Amino acid sequence: MSPIETQRLMLSQMSDLQQLAASERIAPAHQDGIQQDFTQVVRAINAQQNLAGQMMHAVDTGQSDDVVGAMIASQKAGLSFSMLMEMRNKVMNGIDDIMRMSL
């Protein structure tokens, strides 16, 4: 695909999005959906933590020789948890900033 064709395609898509935005009213996301998504994320991170713990326990007790797999699962779980804590901190900072605003 040439650069000109790519540019035409992008302009066409942008035009379609502009028409869509002009013709329909965009509704805000429902808070219930956000709550469900957040709950699913927390459950997925909890499942990663549990899996990593089980894999490490299996290696520690000699039931498994997959040390590399256990370490990778542990690192994934740790990284996911760290990201969740960073998200929480950002939300809390945002709430603090809103509370400090004067009316």
Tokens 């901190």, residue located: 89
CA atoms of 91 and 103, how far apart (whole Å): 21
- 45-103 tens-digit pLDDT: 999 999 999 999 999 999 989 899 999 999 999 999 999 999 999 999 999 999 998 87
CA atoms of 65 and 3, how far apart (whole Å): 52
Q: What pLDDT is stored for residue 22 in this prediction?
A: 74
Cα 100–101–103 angle (5° rounding)? Answer: 135
Residue 24, φ and ψ in degrees, nearest 5: -120, 150
* Whether the predicted pLDDT of 27 surpasses 70: no
Higher pLDDT, 86 or 18: 86
CA atoms of 56 and 95, how far apart (whole Å): 38
User: Residue 81's CB: how many other CB atoms inside 10 A?
Assistant: 14
| pTM across the whole model | 0.59
